[in-house]
Structure formats: C-alpha cells, structure tokens
C-alpha cells in the first residue's frame, strides 16, 4: 500500500515539497486542502498544478477509508464500519452528548491485549492503523456531523476519544503523529483538551506514557485491584502491575495538570466484589484520579454478565465514602452493538448480508 497524504504532519509538507523541487508554499496549500478543507480528491485541489497532482498520486493515496456501514441507535449514537484499502475494517462511533458530540475512534485493526470483556480482543491484532487512517476517521465523522447535526449541540463541536478498537499505546508512533495532526493549527486545529487517550496500560505502553508530552485527557483501565485479579481480566496488559500502572498514570496527571480517569468495568461476580471496591478506594484515594464505573457491555458469545444496579451503587458508595470521585457510565447505542468490536465481528460472520449505506 502507498502511504496516505494524511500520514504527514502539516509542518512537514513544505519541506517534502522542496525536496521534490517544488516551492514550499505548495506544501502549505496541500496541507490546507487535506486538513482544513477535508478534501478527499486530488482532482479538486485546483490551485495545485495538474502535473504536481499527478506526481503526488503516483506516490500517495488521498484517502484510506470507505464507509461500508452506518447505523443509528435509538439514542442517536451513530456507528460506522470503515473498510481500509487492504479490505480490513475498523469501527468508529459518534456519541451525542449534552452540548457536543464525542467521536470514538480506533487505533488498530483488532487488538493484542486480549481483555476478557472486549469483542475486539477475540480476533487478535491484525495491524496498527497509520496516522492518516486515524485522522481520516475523525474527518469522516466530522463531515457526517456537519451533514446531520444533533439539534441540541449548537456549535460546541466534538471531542475525540481513543476508545474504539485497539490499544493506542501499542501503536504509539502512529497515534503520536495523529495527535500532532489533530492539535496543529494547520492540522485539524483541535484543542488538546478535547482529546482523550484510553489505555489498558500494558508494560510497553507505560514507557510511551512516560514520554507523552501532550496534556491530553487520559483514561486508564485496571481490570482488577490486585495483580492476580488484573491479570485474570486483562492477561496481556496485566503484565504491568496495578502499582506500575497507577504510578505511571499519576506521573502523567502531575505533568499534564489533568486528573486521570480510572475505568473500571463491572463484571458480575468478578470485578464487582466489594472487597475490590475497598482495594480500589485505597489505591485511588488522595491521588489525582477519578473512577468511572462501567457496567459490562455483554457479548453474545460469552457468559460474562453485567453487574446489577444495586451492586453498582454499593460499589460506588464504597469509593465515595473513601472520598474518591466515582461516576457510573452507561455506554450508548446498545441496540446497534456500539461496544467496540461488535459491529466488525458481526460483519465478519455474514459479510454478504449487510448492504453499504446509500449515502
Ligand atoms: S479493551 Fe481495549 S485494550 Fe483491551 S482488548 Fe479491547 S481494544 Fe484491546
């Protein structure tokens, strides 16, 4: 596969153009088309000479994603299945919030982390996405939001969260470049405060986390309040201990000046035991953390069940009593399988039954 034009940060385009014997300003023009205008075709970049467009097309692809499915849930959540140029697929979701939209994007095709509660984990890792494939998800979702705005949003724009398929810190170089493109004024011009990285905190990911110098929002998923419990639920990421994961998260919180969210998936009879709540409270109290309690999104081929509401509230009470801010989060779009990896798995099972969208 050729690289994508969007794999390159806007600041690098002027130099790339001069290296090809073109004036530097051509690079700025191209970056403007790609990132500010969200233009998909070289043909329509009419202020670039036709000969330059032809030469660019020999070495680069202008787009890497095609929408093959778009589903809208009763609560307004929109889920997209994108086909990549090598016929792999990834998912992205638009979630309507009170005053803005949240874009949930993928960083990899599949995932190597094997978390017990996750549909994406089932097929293992196929490959990491390139920076352009990550950036294009956001631009495709933004275009959809322009065409079909949520009436309640006004012009509050969108946030981007890396909570789709893949472990972002397992594809760090591409994710880091994508973050630069998101936040560059000549890129998507997104405030860094509107970007959230969500990680299962694998050992090699913690090394990248310590190097991350952008004050993005950070969510860290623990899976258990002691090392054995964490490894049971998150066998790969759990090779990093609970202490290592939380210490790295705290270092990042102090560096970024932003409280880190600890995501806790509540699985009936497993992660919802009050003893775990007490341990979690001890681990997070008086530290720059808040806890999000997330009832399991049940999968159709697994016997893990979501925790009942009484137990969820009891779990939350233990944390609150210890002074830990704890919130219950219910994911939207359950009627369309919005949990990460579900749409892709269903499609892999019956490829011919799903028609592409009409628009
Ligand atoms: S929860 Fe995230 S890190 Fe774990 S397997 Fe799923 S995609 Fe990978």
Over residues 232-262, the pLDDT tens digits come to 999 999 999 999 999 999 999 999 999 999 9
Which two structure tokens, joined as six digits, stand for 319? 């944390």
- The confidence score (pLDDT) of residue 353 equals 26
- The confidence score (pLDDT) of residue 209 equals 98
- The confidence score (pLDDT) of residue 336 equals 60
Task: Assess if residue 13 is contained within a domain.
Answer: no
Number of structural domains (the chain) is 2
- The confidence score (pLDDT) of residue 5 equals 98
146 and 100, same domain (yes or no): yes
Contact 112, 125 (CB under 8 A): yes
The response to whether residue 200 sits with its C-beta less than 6 Å from ligand 1 reads: yes
Low-confidence ranges of the chain (pLDDT < 50): 349-359
Active site residue 115: no
- The confidence score (pLDDT) of residue 98 equals 84
pTM of this prediction exceeds 0.75:
yes
Active site residue 340: yes
169 and 259, same domain (yes or no): yes
70 and 49, same domain (yes or no): no
The response to whether residue 133 sits with its C-beta less than 6 Å from ligand 1 reads: no
CA of residue 340 to ligand 1 center, whole Å:
8
Which two structure tokens, joined as six digits, stand for 333? 């779009």
The span from the CA of 146 to the CA of 74, in Å, is: 20
104 and 198, same domain (yes or no): yes
The number of the ligand 1 atom at minimal distance from the alpha carbon of 119 is 6
Task: Assess if residue 217 is contained within a domain.
Answer: yes
The span from the CA of 258 to the CA of 253, in Å, is: 5
The 65-72 sheet, strands edge to edge: 65-72, 78-84, 89-96, 101-104, 158-162, 195-199, 217-221, 260-266, 289-295, 326-328
Which of 357, 269, 356 has its CA nearest to residue 315? 269
The number of the ligand 1 atom at minimal distance from the alpha carbon of 113 is 5
- The confidence score (pLDDT) of residue 342 equals 58
The response to whether residue 294 sits with its C-beta less than 6 Å from ligand 1 reads: no
- The confidence score (pLDDT) of residue 343 equals 55
Task: Assess if residue 314 is contained within a domain.
Answer: yes
204 and 344, same domain (yes or no): yes
Catalytic-role residue among 22, 69, 91, 167:
91
- The confidence score (pLDDT) of residue 349 equals 43
Residue 53 lies in domain: 33-60
């Amino acid at each position: 596969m050729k690289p994508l034009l969007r794999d390159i940060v806007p600041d690098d385009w002027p130099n790339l153009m001069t290296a090809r014997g073109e004036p530097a300003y051509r690079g700025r023009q191209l970056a403007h088309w790609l990132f500010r205008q969200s233009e998909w075709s070289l043909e329509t970049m009419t202020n670039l000479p036709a000969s330059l467009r032809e030469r660019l097309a020999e070495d680069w692809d202008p787009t890497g994603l095609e929408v093959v499915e778009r589903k809208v849930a009763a609560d307004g959540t929109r889920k997209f299945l994108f086909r990549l140029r090598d016929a792999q697929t990834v998912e992205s979701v638009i979630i309507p919030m009170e005053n803005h939209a949240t874009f949930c994007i993928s960083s990899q095709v599949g995932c190597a982390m094997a978390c017990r509660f996750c549909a994406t984990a089932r097929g293992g890792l196929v490959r990491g996405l390139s920076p352009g494939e990550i950036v294009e998800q956001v631009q495709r979702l933004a275009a959809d939001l322009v065409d079909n705005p949520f009436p309640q949003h006004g012009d509050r724009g969108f946030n981007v969260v890396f909570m789709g398929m893949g472990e972002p810190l397992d594809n760090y170089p591409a994710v880091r470049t994508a973050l630069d493109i998101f936040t560059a004024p000549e890129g998507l011009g997104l405030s860094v405060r509107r970007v959230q990285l969500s990680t299962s905190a694998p050992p090699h990911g913690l090394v990248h986390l310590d190097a991350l110098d952008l004050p993005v929002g950070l969510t860290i998923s623990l899976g258990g309040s002691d090392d054995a419990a964490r490894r049971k639920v998150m066998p790969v990421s759990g090779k990093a201990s609970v202490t290592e994961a939380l210490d790295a998260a705290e270092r990042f919180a102090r560096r970024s000046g932003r409280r880190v969210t600890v995501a806790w998936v509540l699985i009936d009879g497993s992660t919802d035991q009050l003893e775990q709540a007490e341990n979690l409270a001890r681990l997070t109290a008086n530290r720059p953390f808040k806890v999000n309690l997330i009832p399991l999104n049940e999968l159709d081929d697994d016997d893990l069940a979501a925790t009942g509401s009484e137990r969820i509230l009891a779990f939350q009470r233990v944390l609150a009593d210890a002074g830990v801010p704890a919130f219950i989060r219910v994911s939207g779009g359950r009627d369309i399988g919005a949990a990460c990896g579900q749409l892709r798995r269903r499609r892999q099972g019956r490829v011919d039954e799903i028609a592409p969208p009409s628009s």
